[in-house]
């Protein structure tokens, strides 16, 4: 399978190290593209919910794949989020082609783009971090329960069902929070003169133009790799929202060497690169 050449790819909310993470699907996606820039917009490694007993091989392969992309020339920007906030102590650190930052502002074909995770808008994280962490554990349990339900539904020949999506759609406070999040991000971007504002955090993929009395901006959210399995791509002066489900990518490996590595070899390779 030929790799698609794109200028920028943006992924967020992967939550490596949790039961809900779809690492194999993400690995297939990363193997299918050849981006000049890869922006990891927060919550890539879930340090909040890290367990020594749970970090599957596919999760390590995703990390190794990102490192391999950087070695081959892709510029990697790791924008820190709340679940990987521990990395904020290393902000503005650069390791080869990998940069760790809290936010990004750059020119994109003559227009200013603003990239940040989005947790700065979340009052529960800013003022009650323990409550946010508890919610994270609850969300992970809900995703795990949903997998068992979907397994049973598939066995009965019925369509899969998303518990968390249904809850979000039917809880007015959740719907209002998402709308408020998008509007606040857009209003701030317009005020600062940014034509693109790119977020993650709320696990809601979106690409929409926002207008107010002071101007306009394009609000973009890369979604997640827990439920939606989505990413943002920029190429030929256009943004598009990528959906793994619509792409119908079958799991494949463009890198046979990566496929052949066992757990210990992957761990050793990541550790050695990190030390270098």
Q: How far apart are CA 218 and CA 182, in angstroms?
A: 10
pLDDT at 250: 64
pLDDT attached to residue 139 = 59
pLDDT category, 125, cuts 50, 70, 90? very low
Q: 100 pairs with which residues across the strands?
A: 78, 93
Is pLDDT above 90 for 90? yes
Nearest partner of 146 among 131, 118, 119, 168, judged by Cα: 168
Q: What is the DSSP letter of 180?
A: H
Spatial contact of 58 and 27, defined as CB atoms under 8 Å apart: yes
Residues 26, 64 contacting (CB under 8 angstroms) = no
Domain ranges of the chain: 4-275
Find how far residue 143's CA is from the centre of its chain: 17
* Average pLDDT score over residue span 120-141: 50
Which CATH architecture describes the domain 4-275? Answer: 4-Layer Sandwich (3.60)
Cβ contact 100:78 at 8 Å: yes
Mean pLDDT value across residues 207-226: 96
Q: Which residue has the higher pLDDT, 119 or 51?
A: 119
- Helix, strand, coil proportions of the chain in percent (round to 5)? 40, 25, 30
DSSP per-residue letters across 109-139: TTEEEEE--SGGG-HHHHH-HHHHHHHHHHH
pLDDT band at 144 (very low <50, low <70, confident <90, very high): low
pLDDT band at 273 (very low <50, low <70, confident <90, very high): low
Cα separation of 204 and 225, whole Å?
11
CA angle 204, 131, 198 (to 5 degrees): 25
pTM, full prediction: 0.80
Residues 6+ apart with CB under 8 A from 16: 23, 44, 45, 46, 55, 59, 62, 63
Residue 216 has pLDDT above 90, yes or no: yes
Per-residue pLDDT tens over the stretch 38-53: 999 999 998 877 766 7
Q: Decide: 198 and 10 in contact? Cβ < 8 Å.
A: yes
Q: How far apart are CA 264 and CA 269, in angstroms?
A: 9
Residue 228: pLDDT band with limits 50, 70, 90:
very high
Edge-first strand order for the sheet with 238-243 is 93-95, 98-101, 75-79, 33-41, 4-11, 230-235, 238-243
pLDDT at residue 166, as a whole number: 57
The predicted pLDDT at position 160 comes to 72
Q: Which residues of 200-212 are buried (b: 16+ CB within 10 A; e: fewer)?
A: bbbbbbbeeebee
Tell me which residue has tokens 């990102």. 66
| % of the chain at pLDDT higher than 90 | 56
What per-residue confidence (pLDDT) applies to 102? 95
For residue 230, pLDDT over 60 is answered with yes
pLDDT tens string 9-67: 999 999 999 888 999 999 999 999 999 999 999 999 988 777 667 789 999 999 999 99
Average pLDDT, the chain: 84
């Amino acid at each position: 399978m030929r790799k698609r050449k794109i200028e920028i790819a943006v992924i967020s909310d992967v939550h490596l190290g949790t039961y809900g993470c779809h690492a194999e699907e993400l690995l297939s996606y990363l193997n299918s593209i050849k981006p000049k820039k890869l922006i990891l917009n927060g919550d890539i490694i879930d340090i909040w919910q890290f367990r020594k007993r749970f970090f599957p091989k596919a999760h390590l392969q995703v990390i190794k794949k990102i490192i391999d992309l950087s070695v081959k020339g892709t510029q990697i920007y790791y924008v820190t989020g709340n679940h990987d906030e521990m990395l904020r102590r290393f902000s503005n650190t650069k390791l080869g082609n990998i940069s760790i930052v809290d936010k990004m502002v750059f020119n994109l074909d003559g227009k200013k783009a603003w990239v940040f995770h989005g947790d700065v808008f979340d009052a529960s994280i800013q003022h009650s971090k323990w409550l946010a962490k508890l919610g994270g554990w609850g969300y992970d349990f809900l995703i795990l329960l949903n997998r068992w339900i979907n397994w049973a539904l598939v066995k009965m020949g019925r369509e899969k069902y998303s518990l968390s999506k249904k809850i979000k759609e039917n809880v007015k406070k959740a719907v209002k929070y998402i709308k408020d999040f998008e509007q606040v991000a857009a209003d701030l971007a317009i005020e600062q003169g940014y034509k693109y504002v790119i977020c993650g955090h709320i696990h809601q993929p979106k690409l929409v133009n926002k207008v107010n009395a002071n101007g306009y901006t394009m609000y973009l959210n890369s979604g997640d790799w827990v439920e939606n399995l989505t990413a943002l791509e920029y190429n030929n002066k256009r943004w598009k929202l990528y959906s793994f489900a619509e792409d119908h990518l079958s799991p494949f490996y463009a890198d046979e060497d990566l496929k052949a590595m066992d757990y210990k070899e992957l761990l050793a390779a990541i550790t050695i690169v990190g030390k270098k």
